[in-house]
Structure 1
């Protein structure tokens, strides 16, 4: 491993390592297969934790995605204190504690090339009192390792912990974690992408703002009232319901629908649905592609 920083100053008491590119095959740690098979599914948390425990004996993990000025907790799991990892991950995200996290300092100073970076710290070295005392101390956390990678428009970070009861991370475990880091991060990024795509999919026909946003970006473009009427048709409203919602007459709602169908060269609500889902799918693909740039 190439050690970048290991001083005992305030900002560098966290040991930061640029990880090696050697990947770990599934032959040595068979549980990697379960993690791959469960990417994007409910079983990922348990499978991923098993894999991480096999590599470095981490007791808990939390996986986060950062985009712009927002951090989203994606997955979490713990071998002990069932449910604590997920609960604390949500507090960490919602409370904005990630903005004070020394484990992410090397991430912000790294190139946006997707290369994993590993930071290792004792909990006592976290100087933000509320973060230390609210997130970690109540559950006896002793050490923490943060594995993160930065892309041009986003970042993914994985927090691993060991408690006082279990003792520190072993040196050979950290070495294995470093060697496996590229594979771990690749799985984490794919899981994030699938989970976020799934969240988007749930809004395809259940969120009126999401439907309207899709129609606004669609090609060919619809006039404002045409888009508003079509969005509500897709949302499941009747012509009368649309008229009442938009404050227009029912005949006007039907006229806007007719104009929209003519512009789209379709003739039925079923064809509108098929056209919309095609537009929605193309837009989600473009969003996913932009995240990987």
Structure 2
């Protein structure tokens, strides 16, 4: 029998596998977005990142986003994108089939002037490096790293490192998204109204997105508010519902069991 101890760092000198091992450990954590971005920055500096699904047929959905050691403007960027810019987004047109692809572009490569001005120029984004896959329904799930104007451009070595880690990073993100089931929004809203008729609009917004499996960071990005504010609305909603945890919210909505809520 042989046994040996693994080195703390990857002896090949590539940071990608080390980063992935740390990112995998965060799957399922409410702090996945910030923790994963911090791990990515151990070897591939990125000022911010986002994970969203986009389609020309329906409004995009942001699952998570965040910034590293800077003011977080990802929520403002996504709101501008969702408010109509996504319809003219041609940056993923080179993707074919449903295989994972890499897209690297600079702000100047964004052909739509409004898209370039309202997101890249307004928020001083220099480059985007994405891992993206087209789904069977035509939508595209994309994991995006952004360099800002105060950062150097991506170098060839960094692009190669991203290529090594892209598939594992994409799978980790997909798993994070899939951990909570999606439910029909309209039915969920009706169920929540029956369970707690006094839910405020923002409390409803947050609960509906929790039911879609979105993280606190993703909800903050989608609604254009801070993650701290998301938690405040969640706590208020849970107090009205008489629950304490996300799994209780899922169980109550799936059963429509008002009695179970009030008996807690």
Say which SS state the counterpart of residue 35 (structure 2) adopts: helix
- The 1:133/1:116 distance shift into structure 2, 3 A limit, reads same
CA distance in 1, matches of 2:15, 2:116: 38
CA distance in 1, matches of 2:148, 2:196: 51
Pairwise CA distance, 1:118? 0.8
- The 1:80/1:138 distance shift into structure 2, 3 A limit, reads farther
- The 1:191/1:95 distance shift into structure 2, 3 A limit, reads same
Aligned length: 189
- The equivalent residue for 1:208 is 190
Pairwise CA distance, 1:159? 1.9
- The equivalent residue for 1:15 is none
Does residue 65 in structure 1 map to residue 53 in structure 2?
Answer: yes
Match of 1:180 among 148, 160, 165: 165
Pairwise CA distance, 1:39? 2.8
Q: Residue 55 of structure 1 contacts residue 177 of structure 1 at CA under 8 Å; is this kept in 2?
A: no
TM-score computed with the length of structure 2 as normaliser: 0.60
Say which SS state the counterpart of residue 42 (structure 2) adopts: helix
Say which SS state the counterpart of residue 90 (structure 1) adopts: helix
Match of 2:140 among 117, 141, 155: 155
- The 1:146/1:30 distance shift into structure 2, 3 A limit, reads closer
Max Rg structure:
1
Does residue 193 in structure 1 map to residue 178 in structure 2?
Answer: yes
Pairwise CA distance, 1:84? 1.1
Pairwise CA distance, 1:203? 8.9
- The equivalent residue for 1:47 is 35
Does residue 111 in structure 1 map to residue 97 in structure 2?
Answer: yes
- The equivalent residue for 1:269 is none
- The 1:236/1:167 distance shift into structure 2, 3 A limit, reads closer
- The 1:201/1:161 distance shift into structure 2, 3 A limit, reads same
Does residue 125 in structure 1 map to residue 109 in structure 2?
Answer: yes
Say which SS state the counterpart of residue 56 (structure 1) adopts: coil
Q: Residue 59 of structure 1 contacts residue 163 of structure 1 at CA under 8 Å; is this kept in 2?
A: yes
Say which SS state the counterpart of residue 49 (structure 1) adopts: helix
- The equivalent residue for 1:35 is 23
TM-score computed with the length of structure 1 as normaliser: 0.55
Match of 2:87 among 74, 99, 106: 99
- The equivalent residue for 1:137 is 121
Say which SS state the counterpart of residue 48 (structure 1) adopts: helix
Q: Residue 52 of structure 2 contacts residue 61 of structure 2 at CA under 8 Å; is this kept in 1?
A: yes
Unaligned runs of 5+ residues in structure 1 are: 1-23, 212-231, 238-276, 282-293
Q: Residue 16 of structure 2 contacts residue 164 of structure 2 at CA under 8 Å; is this kept in 1?
A: no
Of the two structures, which has the highest relative contact order with CA contacts closer than 8 Å and spacing of 6 or more?
Answer: 2
- The 1:189/1:45 distance shift into structure 2, 3 A limit, reads same
- The equivalent residue for 1:270 is none
CA distance in 2, matches of 1:168, 1:279: 47
Pairwise CA distance, 1:47? 1.6
CA distance in 2, matches of 1:128, 1:136: 11
The CA deviation string for residues 198-255 of structure 1, in whole angstroms up to 9 with x for no partner, is: x649998x632689xxxxxxxxxxxxxxxxxxxx6xx489xxxxxxxxxxxxxxxxxx
Q: Residue 123 of structure 1 contacts residue 136 of structure 1 at CA under 8 Å; is this kept in 2?
A: yes
